[in-house]
Structure 1
Amino acid sequence: MTLTIMRALAVTGALLLTSVAAHAGEIDFERDIAPILEERCSYCHGEDEQESGLRLDRRPHLLRGGDSGLAAIVPGYPEKSYLLDVVSHRDPDVKMPPDEDRIPDEEIALLTRWVQEGAVWPGQMDAELEVETSHWSFQPVVRPEVPQVSGRTSNPVDAFLLHRLAEDDLTYSDSADPRSLLRRASIVLTGLPPTPDETTAFLEAYAKSPEEAYAELVDRLLASPHFGERWAQHWLDVIRWAETNGSEANLYRKNAWIYRDYVVRAFNDDTPYDQFVREQIAGDSLGSGEATGFLVAGPHVPAATVGREPSAIRQARADRMDEVMQTVGASIMGVTIGCARCHNHKFDPISLQDYYALTGVFQDIEFGSRRPELAPEHPRKQRGQTLWREIGTHRKTLRPLGGWEENWGAFRELHFKPVTTAAIRLRFKTVNVSVDELEVFGPDQRGKNLALQRHGTTVSGYPEGGNEGRNPITRLTDGEYGTMAWRAKVDKESEDRPWVRLDFETPVTIERLRLSSNREYYFDTDYLTKKPYLPRYEYDIDVLTEDGEWKPWVGTWFVNRKLNEQHPERKKALAGIQQAIDALEEEGPRPSFIGRFVEPQVTRVLLRGSPENPRDEVMPAGLAVLDGDLGLTSDSSGAERRLAFANWITRPENPLTARVMVNRIWHHVFGRGIVATTSDFGEAGAPPTHPELLDWLAAEFVEPTVSGGTAWSMKGLIRMLVMSEAFRQSSRPREEGIARDAGSALLWRFPPKRVEAEVLRDAILLASGSLDPAIGGRSYRIHNEKATYAQWEVVDNYGPHTWRRMLYQERMRRVDDQMFTAFDFPDCGQVRARRPVSTTPLQALNLLNSDFAVDQARRIAERARSDAGGDLEKAVDRCFELLLSRPPEQDERTVCVELARQEDLSLVCRALMNSNEFAFLP
């Protein structure tokens, strides 16, 4: 008899004994459980093979589970143990072993009892599995020694690069000529080429002292307000920021540009990167409320499109949380967190538990608008306080004269004499009513909405179900603004009119009431200059007295008509309030699409990512592999969660945060990151070409010892890179370099690259003298004002109102601007850490024949003629200086003068705009 047969018989005998012992006393692992695991499971889930990443021959592996991300067993909780779901075939998608080999019920009962009794496994009760990985990006940053290289170099960046080049018998190319260097530095740092005057000044200074002239140039460009515009664009690409939501309706995001201006300001002010990150995650706690626009920068499907099906609403919420995960993961952490939404990450040490613990951090974030929390010294904050004082003064005038109504755009607010009551009743005078939210406030906690259901208030009225029972009255006090409203309609001939009753949990003192018909649209999607249709409903308010009688208290008809007739002096105060309200909406901390806050819910792991399959509760936390325990619970407030996470992710010990940003900055300076996949530092990403240099830069970024600058200074790091010899090299090809490193990844030359769409457009406007250099403010519009489910249409993409930097063009998802989209301008639907570079006929056609190109070429030609005093040859020279930052060579001059004589000087400009020299960094 073979050993295999003997072993099989022994196991079979043990299983028979197991069934006999099934109901006898406590479970004994060796007797009752080990034979089941050995016979039924170990072949596919043992030491040698672990299908689906699940290993069942060790207790710690059972506790962790497999690729599903769910624990195979949870001691004491059979109902939470995924192994029991699988072997019992309760999960319709995963049945193991399959039907023909299904484990007998009596063995499943034993496994269930074993888990119920604590899953005791002798010798392994203290064994634990540490979350660990050998992948380089998750290892601590250790500052390496700067290598010694032959020759003198004062910049450590050059030392690392030259050391690596020597391994391939390569070295740097010659220095770039001063004109090329000026143009390169200007575009990399500000996105704008130098003007002719700037070129002349630099060349004169460079001839006297090249090093001093270049250092002064770099410092001037870093100090330019256009620096922030250039580098803000890079950040906005990564987080997919746009001013529409990208859904089927692709609705507008009102005042989203407030966040864009914050990013510009942060780069210009050289806000330390760790602070920059903290503000974008928890700016509401740090006096930088507009910065949280970062969290809602990605696309989303609005509630109106989702519909009313509860499962669809839950799925849409899960999808919005995933958009937040993509934004945070790609931009700050450099990992593909979204891959762990349905199962453990296939490549990186990110589990399903990690994913949902991270979503727990952001459970209070919802896509929408709010007034940003600003520091006391913020100009908008100060202006807002002044206007609020004006409003308070006018209210003080009105209060002795009775109630009044204020129009806040999104809602109307009725003020009246304070009264203490257990219930109020609103009796509408119209047959049609549509109200998304009814709010009631008292004089004490002025921001507390006493009507909310969560405060114990109940709502009733007529008709309770709204129109045909589809628009219930409970929506009035659910705390949600938007299309989910109470819509009531009664017959015109009926004596009945719609009415609402609020019963408070205990008697309260009230003095204000708000009504709105679709506040979400006003705050989130209505155009900046468009006022929504907000009916001025007439209604009477009754209060319930202590003896149970209804007492009339105030009516809108009374405050808006009768009192105004009785007290003509009210008119001035009412007008003053309305003027202050309008100014507050424009000049104060305006409602902006930077996210709104909701009450955070308990976060649960979702089986295969489905909200219909919630499993175990998880606490808000960072990645376990990076010691992400934040000490939070499900009772922690949303602000607490995000602030704790912001502090965790910006710890100097976090190996990803500094590495990712250093690499991102390197990418935008040299055209390619040390890690080419700038938003994926995981196993599926590219390995670093210079790992020691990357770590040295990350360490220097956090704790500058060579530059002596500010910790986490983005400008300081950029200055170090552009001051290097590597950046100042010629971009000309060399045979030996092409042979060994065709992509110039090792930087034996400065890699030539085509400039972005924005640089092309802004450079043309600069050359014609048309560019408006104003920083910040509302985006300029090139589109129509569309109906909800219509499409955006480009109506004017070249008129004078568009002559600002392209950063300020309304950034609409899924819309071709009919000009520079051809140059790979992103549609903001996907993370775009690195823009693609394509070459198509449409590019040349746009720069030759578009209305913008023709109009601007004519303006450049007119400017050149004017500057040249009518001399055609000098005018041609001026066109070259304006567009290419250099005079023409003699043969170029001859050809262009002839073309200008035969046709028009504007044709010369259009030809130069289509040259590689104009479109590529030198």
Structure 2
Amino acid sequence: MNRILSLKLLLVAMACGIVSSGSAEDIDFENDIFPILDNNCLHCHGEDESESGLRLDRRVFMLRGGDSGLASVIPGHPENSYLIEAVNHAEADIAMPPDEDKLPAEEIELLTRWIQEGAVWPGQMDDVVTEDTEHWSFLPVVRPEVPEVVGGDEDHAIDAFLRKRLAQEGLDFSAPADPRSLIRRTSIILTGLAPTPERTEAFVTACQADGDAAYEQLVDELLASQHFGERWAQHWLDVIRWAETNGSEANLYRKNAWIYRDYVVRAFNEDKPYDQFVREQIAGDSMGVGEATGFLVAGPHVPAATVGREPSAIRQARADRLDEVMQTVGASVMGVTVGCARCHNHKFDPISIKDYYSLTAVFQDIEFGSRFPEFADEHPRRQRGKEVRQEISKYRKQLSAIGGWEEDWGAYREIHFKPITTRAIRVRFKTPNVGLDELEVFGSESSRKNLALPKNGATLTGFPEDGFEGRYPIDRLNDREFGTMNWRVELPKDTDELPWVKIAFDSPQEVARMRLSSNREYFYDTDYLDKKPHLPRYQYDMDIMDEAGNWKPWTGTWVTTTKLAKDHPERKAILDEVQKWINTLAEDGPQPSFVGRFVEPDVTHVLLRGSPETPRDEVPPAGPAIFSGDLGLDSSASGAQRRAEFAKWVTSTDNPLTSRVMVNRIWHHIFGTGIVPTTSDFGLAGAPPTHPQLLDWLASEFVDAKDANPWSMKSMIRLMVMSDAFRQSSAPNTEAVRIDASSMLLWRFPPRRVEAEVIRDSVLLATGALDPAIGGRSYRIHNEKQTYAQWEVLDNHGPKTWRRMLYQERMRRVDDRIFTAFDFPDCGQVRAKRPVSTTPLQALNLMNSDFVVEQSVLLAKRARNEAGDSLPKQVARCFELLLDRQPGDDEIETAIEFSESQSLELLCRTLINTNEFAFLP
């Protein structure tokens, strides 16, 4: 770094004329520069061979640079030109020519002067760098004509495209699925729950009269179900890796992260247009849906306490957190692996390292952590919050008439005292040991202005100024950063001077409240620790400065806690009421939730080889250049403005990826495999579409629907499940299997195993134990733990867990000891498509786990209650509840014999283990 700095200083000095650059004669490119390039560079960086993607045989390629993404030559600026760093051997990794073949000093000076004078290359000055691509997914969406099917009367566009492709292989659709298979398939795909036996029988009967009408009614009923949002929310959460712990060494819990999960469920149930859904998740803080930005911080991260205090480690961790945001946005919305351009230009796709850092510039104000979500006035939590605050205010007025008091807000203590106008306050602590992460001062109850902040004109001083051993400076008390980066004082017990803090204002201010906290970050961001950070209960006195500049005692712990309690015994009941309503507000009103917090956005630079220690050119907030991602912003734009403009750009109908990626994702969840099998990679390294014209027709229909709402996810899902392709049988066909064994061409509905959640929820539904409540806090299956201990599963089967698995605590790096075996994702990596494995552990868990054993008892009990004393009827009822059908003649005989020799409960466990229960028909 020192060598690079010295080189840049020298070059700047040369540019300013402070240091002589040698001869004043103009550089002659043909005689002075080209021989240097030809003799030393072009054999490795020419037309025939371009190591590291770098060509130096034409000026235009020099301006563009190689895989590093940095321009080799920046005319007029040799100090920023990568070529000059390389030939000066500023770093061993980039030294060119390598080893001992360094250019002579006079040749380096010639190259430097050439660049300083504009890098003139005769005959090439008008060449322009253009980035073109013919890759299908980067081209505009063009709506194709629906093909005419030879010999058919096709009126469904999806079927027309599919049948045309099948005909090319001599194939056609299979026969329609039987009604029982169809209702089970449709119900599970749309809601994640199997139909009840009664609903199945009603559907079978209705199909005998008018199968099409009965099916259409079924689809509309399932799309309107509140369980639809639960099912499809899980698909989205898989893609963005949402979980309720951070996945680091400590793997701390993310407090109230479930607020975002519930937002996603509501969005699908309300059929929120997809473009609005995306915009809200990127810029919901300015749209009245602040909880939606939980999307941006859904990935894992390392907390500050784990990173430590080394500045370079802090910078690296910040870059890593921004990369997690890039992975989330790139995979879910754009369908591009933008993270591959973090250290160099993308190896496959036309996305440069400058594009990557321009994208990080968009999200520079996002930090992993909690905040109070921004709610619109009509939001239920905001309405409830207003009601509760009115109650708190009512009791505060009673306390004000008596004197000062303290309130416990969990994250901080708020001290109220008689209002006074002053130019300064002083807090004198009565113990030699103090640890605070923030000290805030406010005026009246309605004021939200923290008078202790430097931006509001406050100056903070105290003793000792540097804190304990200089590691905890006093300015941390008003830096608006909560957590372990605090002010800490540890003085000898027999010290003559105790810690104190003075806050001086630039003009007289009315002060009436003070807040003290020791680690507010832990309270806001995490939970379920058996050693939670305690709130500071330090003894103190507070003085105010009078007009003459003298200190005057005003309040203190003895006044607010001891004296007033002794003089006014009625005060305790009022304080209890205040605390009761504070606790109610924390539960029912707006509450700090892990949906990201905001910081001032930094100026963004390209980081050479991805390292924060080697910042290079400044870049503006923007999308990738190949997609015309210019947002018209620079580094002065606010964070909210950056994200709002990006959200508009990424959801524009001109963006070729957004609609394609989402309709393909919907297709994947309906048919088991996307038209593009790599659902989060539409780049050159991804798989090509099996039906490209169908994909573009769906993408254009999604945004320009003629008979539905634009960007409607429910309408697109309905369109797909109403097709003959979806309604056909899944039975195999020998000739078709020979031609298309994976059923990619959809000559049948491809059978597949259902997800872990479907298995678990279907068991609970069959036993009648499922709690159908929508939303709310996750149910707990884990322990409380020490900070760096591991989570332990305590109860994964008891009655408190009998909700849908969507609401189970989602912990990274933790096996739930039952359904993780069924490929439930760890949430550490993007899971646009879950793997499907077959292992002995799956059968063992479905036979012997506490959950299945307990639920089998409940299922047998239900069958006995509903079928009476007849064992054949009890057996038949078990088949109905689990498999939506009556047993066959051979099955009933075997099942009765088995139940008599073993038990009805064991029969239930056996049925739960069948492929029929675990696979879509």
Q: TM-score, normalised by structure 1?
A: 0.95
What SS is found at the alignment partner of 2:93?
coil
Deviations 1:568-623 (A, max 9, x none): 55445433332221111100111111111111111111110011111111111111
What SS is found at the alignment partner of 2:476?
helix
Q: What residue in structure 2 maps to residue 869 of structure 1? A: 868
The answer on whether the counterparts of 2:297 and 2:368 sit within 8 Å (CA) in structure 1 is yes
Q: CA deviation at 1:27?
A: 2.9
Q: Within 1, Cα distance between the matches of 2:437 and 2:173?
A: 67
Q: What residue in structure 2 maps to residue 102 of structure 1? A: 102
Q: Within 2, Cα distance between the matches of 1:588 and 1:644?
A: 30
Q: What residue in structure 1 maps to residue 368 of structure 2? A: 367
The answer on whether the counterparts of 1:409 and 1:531 sit within 8 Å (CA) in structure 2 is no
What percent identity do the matched residue pairs reach?
A: 69
The answer on whether the counterparts of 2:432 and 2:490 sit within 8 Å (CA) in structure 1 is yes
The answer on whether the counterparts of 1:284 and 1:292 sit within 8 Å (CA) in structure 2 is yes
Q: Within 2, Cα distance between the matches of 1:301 and 1:506?
A: 41
Deviations 1:531-550 (A, max 9, x none): 75213222112223443322
The answer on whether the counterparts of 2:516 and 2:536 sit within 8 Å (CA) in structure 1 is no
What SS is found at the alignment partner of 1:476?
helix
Deviations 1:468-491 (A, max 9, x none): 433332322222111122222333
What SS is found at the alignment partner of 2:388?
helix
Go from structure 1 to structure 2 and tell me whether the alpha carbon gap of 1:511 and 1:29 turns closer, same or farther (over 3 Å shift).
farther
Q: Is 1:755 equivalent to 2:754 in the alignment?
A: yes
Q: What residue in structure 1 maps to residue 18 of structure 2? A: none
Q: Within 2, Cα distance between the matches of 1:443 and 1:126?
A: 65
What SS is found at the alignment partner of 1:43?
coil
Q: CA deviation at 1:378?
A: 1.0
Deviations 1:444-467 (A, max 9, x none): 993333323455644332233433
Q: Within 1, Cα distance between the matches of 2:416 and 2:712?
A: 50
2:527 partner amino acid: D
Counterparts of residues 324-335 of structure 1 (less than 5 Å): 324-335=325-336
What SS is found at the alignment partner of 1:358?
helix
Q: CA deviation at 1:506?
A: 5.0
Go from structure 1 to structure 2 and tell me whether the alpha carbon gap of 1:30 and 1:577 turns closer, same or farther (over 3 Å shift).
farther
Counterparts of residues 301-316 of structure 1 (less than 5 Å): 301-316=302-317
The answer on whether the counterparts of 1:489 and 1:498 sit within 8 Å (CA) in structure 2 is no
Q: What residue in structure 1 maps to residue 780 of structure 2? A: 781
Q: Is 1:909 equivalent to 2:908 in the alignment?
A: yes
What SS is found at the alignment partner of 1:100?
coil
Q: Within 1, Cα distance between the matches of 2:445 and 2:849?
A: 61
Q: What residue in structure 2 maps to residue 584 of structure 1? A: 585
Q: CA deviation at 1:512?
A: 2.2
Q: What residue in structure 2 maps to residue 394 of structure 1? A: 395
Q: What residue in structure 1 maps to residue 169 of structure 2? A: 168
Q: CA deviation at 1:358?
A: 0.4
Go from structure 1 to structure 2 and tell me whether the alpha carbon gap of 1:456 and 1:116 turns closer, same or farther (over 3 Å shift).
farther
Q: Within 1, Cα distance between the matches of 2:771 and 2:730?
A: 32
Q: Within 2, Cα distance between the matches of 1:444 and 1:135?
A: 60
Deviations 1:510-565 (A, max 9, x none): 33221101100000112399975213222112223443322222223212333344
Q: Within 1, Cα distance between the matches of 2:350 and 2:382?
A: 44
Q: What residue in structure 1 maps to residue 792 of structure 2? A: 793
Go from structure 1 to structure 2 and tell me whether the alpha carbon gap of 1:504 and 1:89 turns closer, same or farther (over 3 Å shift).
farther
Go from structure 1 to structure 2 and tell me whether the alpha carbon gap of 1:636 and 1:467 turns closer, same or farther (over 3 Å shift).
same
Q: What residue in structure 2 maps to residue 510 of structure 1? A: 511
Q: Within 2, Cα distance between the matches of 1:402 and 1:143?
A: 73
Q: What residue in structure 2 maps to residue 127 of structure 1? A: 127
Deviations 1:663-697 (A, max 9, x none): 00000000000000000001110000000000000
Go from structure 1 to structure 2 and tell me whether the alpha carbon gap of 1:479 and 1:333 turns closer, same or farther (over 3 Å shift).
same
Counterparts of residues 191-210 of structure 1 (less than 5 Å): 191-210=192-211
Q: CA deviation at 1:634?
A: 1.1
Deviations 1:255-314 (A, max 9, x none): 111101000010000000000000000000011100100000000001111111111111
What SS is found at the alignment partner of 2:727?
coil
Q: What residue in structure 1 maps to residue 723 of structure 2? A: 724
The answer on whether the counterparts of 2:423 and 2:508 sit within 8 Å (CA) in structure 1 is yes
Q: What residue in structure 1 maps to residue 612 of structure 2? A: 611
Q: What residue in structure 2 maps to residue 687 of structure 1? A: 688
Q: Is 1:415 equivalent to 2:416 in the alignment?
A: yes
1:56 partner amino acid: L
Deviations 1:841-894 (A, max 9, x none): 000000011111111111111111111111100111100000000000000000
Q: Is 1:894 equivalent to 2:919 in the alignment?
A: no
Q: What residue in structure 2 maps to residue 6 of structure 1? A: none
Go from structure 1 to structure 2 and tell me whether the alpha carbon gap of 1:476 and 1:144 turns closer, same or farther (over 3 Å shift).
same
Q: Within 2, Cα distance between the matches of 1:252 and 1:900?
A: 45
Go from structure 1 to structure 2 and tell me whether the alpha carbon gap of 1:604 and 1:450 turns closer, same or farther (over 3 Å shift).
farther
Q: Within 2, Cα distance between the matches of 1:101 and 1:23?
A: 25
Q: What residue in structure 2 maps to residue 843 of structure 1? A: 842
Q: What residue in structure 2 maps to residue 42 of structure 1? A: 42
The answer on whether the counterparts of 1:517 and 1:534 sit within 8 Å (CA) in structure 2 is yes
Q: What residue in structure 1 maps to residue 743 of structure 2? A: 744
Q: What residue in structure 1 maps to residue 300 of structure 2? A: 299
Q: CA deviation at 1:92?
A: 2.2
Go from structure 1 to structure 2 and tell me whether the alpha carbon gap of 1:393 and 1:530 turns closer, same or farther (over 3 Å shift).
farther
Q: What residue in structure 2 maps to residue 600 of structure 1? A: 601
Q: Is 1:221 equivalent to 2:256 in the alignment?
A: no
Q: What residue in structure 1 maps to residue 449 of structure 2? A: 448
Q: Is 1:677 equivalent to 2:678 in the alignment?
A: yes
Q: CA deviation at 1:416?
A: 2.9
2:209 partner amino acid: K
2:727 partner amino acid: R
1:107 partner amino acid: E
Q: Within 2, Cα distance between the matches of 1:443 and 1:29?
A: 72
Q: What residue in structure 1 maps to residue 460 of structure 2? A: 459
Q: Within 2, Cα distance between the matches of 1:768 and 1:287?
A: 41
Q: CA deviation at 1:504?
A: 3.8
Q: CA deviation at 1:399?
A: 3.6
5+ residue gaps in structure 1? Answer: 1-20
Q: Within 2, Cα distance between the matches of 1:227 and 1:528?
A: 34
Q: CA deviation at 1:83?
A: 1.1
Counterparts of residues 516-535 of structure 1 (less than 5 Å): 516-527=517-528, 532-535=533-536
Deviations 1:794-820 (A, max 9, x none): 111110001000001101000011101
Deviations 1:67-97 (A, max 9, x none): 0011112222222111111111112211111
Q: Within 2, Cα distance between the matches of 1:399 and 1:77?
A: 66
Q: What residue in structure 1 maps to residue 378 of structure 2? A: 377
Q: Is 1:357 equivalent to 2:358 in the alignment?
A: yes
Q: Is 1:93 equivalent to 2:93 in the alignment?
A: yes
Q: Within 1, Cα distance between the matches of 2:548 and 2:113?
A: 61
1:544 partner amino acid: M
2:667 partner amino acid: W
The answer on whether the counterparts of 2:529 and 2:785 sit within 8 Å (CA) in structure 1 is no
Q: Within 2, Cα distance between the matches of 1:77 and 1:807?
A: 56
Equivalenced residue count is: 901
Q: What residue in structure 2 maps to residue 431 of structure 1? A: 432
The answer on whether the counterparts of 2:240 and 2:299 sit within 8 Å (CA) in structure 1 is yes
Q: Within 2, Cα distance between the matches of 1:793 and 1:226?
A: 30
Q: Within 1, Cα distance between the matches of 2:225 and 2:277?
A: 19
Q: CA deviation at 1:509?
A: 3.8
Q: Within 1, Cα distance between the matches of 2:419 and 2:628?
A: 53
Q: What residue in structure 2 maps to residue 7 of structure 1? A: none
The answer on whether the counterparts of 2:620 and 2:634 sit within 8 Å (CA) in structure 1 is yes
Go from structure 1 to structure 2 and tell me whether the alpha carbon gap of 1:230 and 1:70 turns closer, same or farther (over 3 Å shift).
same
Q: Is 1:32 equivalent to 2:66 in the alignment?
A: no
Q: Within 2, Cα distance between the matches of 1:356 and 1:891?
A: 66
Q: What residue in structure 1 maps to residue 55 of structure 2? A: 55
The answer on whether the counterparts of 1:142 and 1:695 sit within 8 Å (CA) in structure 2 is yes
5+ residue gaps in structure 2? Answer: 1-20
1:85 partner amino acid: E
The answer on whether the counterparts of 2:436 and 2:487 sit within 8 Å (CA) in structure 1 is yes
1:83 partner amino acid: L
Q: Is 1:66 equivalent to 2:66 in the alignment?
A: yes
Go from structure 1 to structure 2 and tell me whether the alpha carbon gap of 1:214 and 1:608 turns closer, same or farther (over 3 Å shift).
same
Go from structure 1 to structure 2 and tell me whether the alpha carbon gap of 1:857 and 1:603 turns closer, same or farther (over 3 Å shift).
same
